[in-house]
Amino acid sequence: MRVVITGGAGFLGSHLCDLLLRRGDRVVCVDDLSTGRLENLRDAARHPAFRFVECDVTRGLDVPGPVDAVAHLASPASPPDYLRRPLQTLAAGSRGAEHALLLARRHGARFLLASTSEVYGSPQVHPQTEEYWGHVNPIGPRSVYDESKRFAEALTTAYRRTLGVDTGIVRIFNTYGPRMRADDGRVVSNFITQALSGRPVTVYGSGEQTRSFCYVDDLVRGLAAMLDSDESGPVNLGNPGEFTVAELAGLVRRLTGSAAPVDFRPLPQDDPPRRRPAVERAARTLGWVPVVGLEQGLRQTIDWFRGRSGELREAEPRDAGLTVTG
């Protein structure tokens, strides 16, 4: 296939580029580099089937040549990024998503929306199944991200029902791994950066709130499986292993050998108390299950961060007090 990936220079997008190139697809990576990084594309750029286009998809998206699939991943995804760029985040889930849908429609291509577990908000159903409609504060601090993805899901579904576009929606739960930015404000990168730098590890609230953590290699396998399927979704993609934030902090401190203290801070508004995906639909419709356990994935992620000592020294994690979940 020739696949267009919006947000392809980001953490998830760049790994998806690599996976598709390895299996023989051609890839057009579209990114405005507002949160993505060209260095994430170092491996992909050496491949003859790869092309990079610097473009803000909220302003339009036109890719010459054949297009077999469009994967819309473009959006700020970490709390400091979407709180710093609220209007751009909303635009990515509205205008950006529609421009990507229009491209898919013009070419009769498969369209994949990368949505998020944030559509479940502070859930009243546990674990979260795809049938659950969520419990979201539409004007809270997370709303610019949550509601942009909820709107993108509605828009994608309308294009499928009304215009016959071949669409699929995945809801991504906490994903981590190499290429996370040291300062992106997500809980895994924050803890690793703080532990390796000897800074206090910041835990919000009591640390008893739970999250489920999926290693990036597992996650992008799920994205590729969704691209290859005719499943409309939504389909949860995440690792159903459930850990408290305090357990994650302790595990990171142990694996890094850090004696950094844990700094407990007040719990922010709308922080979800529990989050765990039900992934039976992904197993049934996509044949997908995660295989990388948390300790193995953290070891690999920590090793990657150890090789970036300069970035660790310069980066002060931009902790917004929100533990992003997708």
Tokens linked to 36: 């993505």
Q: What are phi and psi of 27, to 5 degrees?
A: -130, 130
Q: How far apart are CA 27 and CA 229, in angstroms?
A: 18
Catalytic residue check, 145: yes
| Residue type present at position 320 | A
Q: Where are the alpha helices (DSSP H) in the chain?
A: 11-22, 42-45, 79-84, 86-91, 97-107, 143-163, 187-197, 216-228, 245-256, 280-286, 294-306, 309-314
Q: How far apart are CA 270 and CA 142, in angstroms?
A: 8
- Name the catalytic one among 120, 145, 159, 215: 145
| Contact call for residues 186 and 324 (beta carbons, < 8 A) | yes
How many CB atoms within 10 Å of residue 256?
A: 22
Q: Is the peptide bond before 268 cis (omega within 30 degrees of 0)?
A: no
Q: What residues act catalytically?
A: 145
